[in-house]
Chains A and B, each alone.
Chain A
Amino acid sequence: MSAHSTSSPLKMYFAVFAALLVGTALTVFAARLDLGPFNAPVALGIATVKATLVALFFMHVWHASEKLTKLVVISALFFFLLLLGLTMSDYATRLWS
């Protein structure tokens, strides 16, 4: 973190904390609604927003002075999605023949 004032990160930390708690309440609430095929995407969407908030602000990826940190985060995500994407494209299309 650069030469910001000392109070600014605290405000941001508490705002992210509040958003994470609201997100948790929202996930529980949404799980009890019938959203048809959208229950799982909504739950995963909220989880992804929460995870992104933690990574960007609590783990300081947003303010990382080293660009390599961002590269490592993005490549980890890329290979994880590659794993899921290729596996699921196989299992989802096995009945096509």
Chain B
Amino acid sequence: MRDNSTVAVHDPALLHHFAEPQQQRDAASLGMWVFLATEVMFFGGLFCAYLVYRRWYFGDFAAASKSINMWLGATNTAVLICSSLTVVLAVWAAQTARRTLLIGSLVLTMLLGFAFLGIKGIEYRDKFVEHHVPGASFSFEHEEIPGHPGQYANPQHAQIFFSLYFVMTGLHALHMIIGLGIFLWLLIMAWKGRFTPEWHTPIEIGGLYWHFVDIVWIYLFPLLYLIDRHK
């Protein structure tokens, strides 16, 4: 423990209820991790529902999955991985007081985030055009089950796949939109020069959030886009 009376000047970035800057940083990131743990449960329920129905209606899920453009999904995976790199670069730039790199990385992260949402939009548009959106105009007739020639997928079961597809990717996209809002705020703060090597907590915990959203996509991509692609 540090005796406060021996500290001549109190670090202005250090809040009074923390003993030292490291403890303050640890407390902030621990809080963010607790929030992310609740997010694991939030997405976890959907992953669980997906697994149950995929086991029941595997052939129908494979046929429905095949109708999605997997190259758009693969490109989006690469886009998110690039954005995760720009986020760690932003955190490092904040730690080492590199203003240009910090602002550049934040701008690049946002551009990649918009690129992801744009590609997602193209994909959703295809699904609307093909009447693969669950609801009154849904249609999935005469779609063969991969590896079973002459056997057609049950449209009702395919609709369950597309419901899960839209809810899971939609919820993920909502997280991306919120992430873009957070990064816009980080960019404004960085532009105003608010972050120092001593205090850049918002960059660190905003980065944790962005990486988490990336991890969710890392699982969504093979589960939704790559069922039985070899058949």
Contacts and interface: CB of A to CB of B under 8 A. Distances in A.
A84 B30 contact: no
Interface in A21-80: 21, 24, 27-28, 31-35, 39, 43-44, 46-47, 50-51, 54-55, 58-60, 64-66, 68-69, 72-73, 75-77, 79-80
Contacts of A76: 36-37, 40-41
A6 interface: yes
Interface stretch (B88-96, B150-158, B163-171, B179-187): B88-96
B34 interface: yes
A39 B22 contact: no
Nearest to B71: A28
Given A10-B92, A34-B231, A83-B45, A50 B218 contact: yes
A96 interface: no
B67 to A, nearest CB: 15
A51 B37 contact: no
Interface of B: 22, 26, 29-30, 33-34, 36-37, 40-41, 44-45, 47-48, 51-52, 55-56, 70, 74, 77-78, 81-82, 84-85, 87-89, 92, 95-96, 207-208, 211-212, 214-215, 218-219, 221-223, 226, 228-231
Interface of A: 1, 6, 9-10, 13-14, 17, 20-21, 24, 27-28, 31-35, 39, 43-44, 46-47, 50-51, 54-55, 58-60, 64-66, 68-69, 72-73, 75-77, 79-80, 83-84, 87-88, 91-92
A47 B55 CA distance: 19
B221 A27 contact: yes
B222 A54 contact: no
B30 A72 contact: yes
A13 B74 contact: no
| Interface of A, helix, strand, loop or mixed by DSSP | helix
A69 B230 contact: no
B93 to A, nearest CB: 10
A27 B230 CA distance: 12
A87 B223 CA distance: 18
User: Can you list the 7 inter-chain pairs with the closest CB atoms, starting with the nearest?
Assistant: A76-B37, A43-B222, A66-B26, A31-B226, A31-B229, A17-B85, A76-B40
Given A10-B92, A88-B51, 12 more contacts: A17-B81, A17-B85, A43-B222, A44-B222, A55-B211, A55-B215, A66-B29, A76-B40, A83-B41, A84-B47, A84-B48, A92-B55
11 contacts: A24-B77, A28-B70, A39-B230, A43-B223, A47-B221, A47-B222, A54-B214, A55-B211, A59-B207, A66-B26, A79-B44
